[in-house]
């Protein structure tokens, strides 16, 4: 027989209560309750640290997509005004948890049929403020037949979006008389008091 046959013998575990030696069986292998609790505690701490960042990233994504959709709607109205050589309006309204927009000829946007309004697919966006002629929905911006602002006073107009549960804001700003559209965030989106 081999000289080192003791290596092949099962490991022994001393039972601390009785002082007896017992063989370690397969059913006794695994983690102790304390080890599992420590791992769960560490995972919980890491999740708690990462959750706010994940939530902020989600909110920023929603705001950016909403801001892009608003800027696109304004650009769409401007392009249609140039293309058709007629005045066009971009109107925005809050409809529950969604913001809706419509590009149309100059008329009262409250008279538009429901199928004229297109939904921005991001939920929980709100129009937090605007200086587009009043405080109530719908908000409208008008371009003349050249694609320029129909009203010089609308230069610097802002439509401010935010998440329904608070947080940062984004806005689309009609920058110049020519109708240049700029996207901004934070303090650039503050609307001055009249």
Which pLDDT tens digit goes with each residue over 121-140? 887 788 877 766 555 678 88
pLDDT tier, 23 (very low <50, low <70, confident <90, very high otherwise)? low
**How far, in Å, CA of 81 to CA of 84, rounded?**
5
Question: What is the band of 188 on the pLDDT scale with cuts at 50, 70, 90?
Answer: confident
Q: What is the mean pLDDT of residues 149-170?
A: 73
In the CATH scheme, what is the homologous superfamily, with its name and number, of domain 34-189? minor pseudopilin epsh domain (3.55.40.10)
The terminus-to-terminus CA distance of the chain in angstroms comes to 101
- The string of DSSP letters for 113-175 reads -GGG-EE-S-TTEEEEEE-SSSSSSPEEEEE-TTSSBSSGGGTTEEEEEEETT---EEEEEE-
> What pLDDT shows up at residue 37?
94
Between these two residues, 43 and 184, which has the higher pLDDT value?
43
Give the gyration radius of the chain's Cα atoms: 32
Segment 73-101 mean pLDDT? 90
Interval 35-77: pLDDT, tens: 999 999 999 999 888 888 888 888 888 888 888 888 899 899 9
CA distances from 23 to 8, 11, 20, 65 (A): 13, 6, 10, 64
Confidence grade of residue 191 (pLDDT, cut at 50, 70, 90): confident
Residue 24 has pLDDT above 70, yes or no: no
10 Å Cβ neighbour count for 91? 25
**Cα 33 to the chain's mean position, in Å?**
40
Considering only CA atoms, which of 133, 126, 131 is closest in space to residue 93? 126
Q: 29-38, 138-147, 180-189: lowest mean pLDDT where? A: 180-189
Cβ neighbours of residue 146 under 8 Å, at least 6 residues apart? 81, 82
Domain boundaries, the chain: 34-189
Residue 190: the pLDDT is 78
């Amino acid at each position: 027989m081999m000289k080192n046959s003791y290596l092949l013998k099962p490991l022994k575990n001393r039972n601390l209560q009785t002082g007896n030696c017992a063989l370690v069986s397969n059913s006794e292998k695994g983690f102790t309750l304390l080890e599992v609790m420590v791992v769960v505690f560490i995972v919980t701490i890491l999740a708690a640290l990462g959750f706010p960042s994940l939530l902020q990233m989600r909110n920023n994504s929603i705001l950016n997509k909403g801001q892009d959709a608003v800027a696109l709607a304004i650009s769409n109205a401007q392009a249609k005004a140039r293309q058709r050589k007629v005045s066009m309006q971009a109107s925005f309204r809050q409809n529950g948890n969604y913001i809706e927009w419509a590009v149309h000829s100059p008329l009262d946007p409250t008279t538009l049929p429901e199928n004229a309004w297109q939904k921005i697919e991001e939920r929980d966006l709100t129009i937090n403020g605007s200086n587009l002629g009043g405080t109530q929905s719908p908000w409208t911006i008008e371009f003349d037949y050249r694609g320029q602002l129909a009203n010089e006073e609308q230069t610097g107009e802002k439509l401010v979006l935010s998440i329904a549960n608070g947080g940062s804001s984004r806005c689309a700003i009609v920058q110049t008389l020519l109708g240049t559209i700029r996207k901004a965030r934070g303090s650039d989106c503050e609307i001055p008091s009249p």
